[in-house]
Amino acid sequence: MEISEQTRWLAGILLLAVVTIELGGLYMLALVRGRAPATPCQLNFAGATPMPASSTVAVRYVALANCPEPGLHASLLSLPTDQPGARPFEQILAEAFPALPVAG
């Protein structure tokens, strides 16, 4: 039986993915059980209030084509309680990505 090069690549990638997932799961289990030290960032997430799996969060989606320049598109999620247009989309984009040339 002969295996193509693409099949060998796929098998190798899948093997690495399985090992990565297994090791990550073992680390998460050790973290939850207190057997592994947690970073300050992980501790911040641990203190967050969890939401039930069936919870629904309403968001507003705004997309702008050809922003900040032709051929690029940007989108923004916000809460429905936020006033629409309170801050220009271009301003939010410029703050998030200062290196981009945003016209506004």
What does the pLDDT look like over 44-93, one tens digit per residue?
777 666 667 777 777 777 777 777 667 777 777 777 777 777 777 777 77
- Residue position matching structure tokens 């050790």: 30
Find the mean pLDDT for residues 24-41.
88
Alpha carbons within 13 angstroms on the beta-carbon side of residue 13 total 6
Amino acid in position 17: A
pTM over cut 0.75: no
CB-based contacts of 58-63 (< 8 A; 24+ apart in sequence):
60/84, 62/89
